[in-house]
Amino acid sequence: MRVSVSPRGALKLKPDSKEERQAFRAFASVFDALQTGLLVCEMTKQRPTPGVSIQQ
């Protein structure tokens, strides 16, 4: 995986192989789910309960 820095200072990850692309997509999906859960908790001012999923 290649890494570069954008003009604004953000890291840009560039997968080299199909396996790296698949792994990166899986990581991005998990990260997105966690970020969404934290945002929902912040919006409702609730603390997340370990082991309990947030459902809408």
Contact status, residue 54 vs residue 48, Cβ threshold 8 Å: yes
Domain that holds residue 25: 17-46
Summarised one tens digit per residue, pLDDT across range 6-51 is 999 998 888 899 999 999 899 999 999 998 988 888 777 766 667 7
Residue 36 located in a structural domain: yes
pLDDT band per the 50, 70, 90 thresholds, residue 1: confident
- The total domain count for the chain is 1
Residue with tokens 């998990």: 30
**Rounded Cα distance, 53 and 41, in Å:** 11
Tokens of 6: 């954008």
Q: Does residue 7 belong to any structural domain of this protein?
A: no
Helix (H, G, I), strand (E, B) or coil at 27: helix
Structural domain contains residue 28: yes
Q: Residue 41, Cβ neighbours under 10 Å: how many?
A: 14
37 occurs within a structural domain: yes
Q: Does a structural domain hold residue 21?
A: yes
The DSSP output letter for 40 is: H
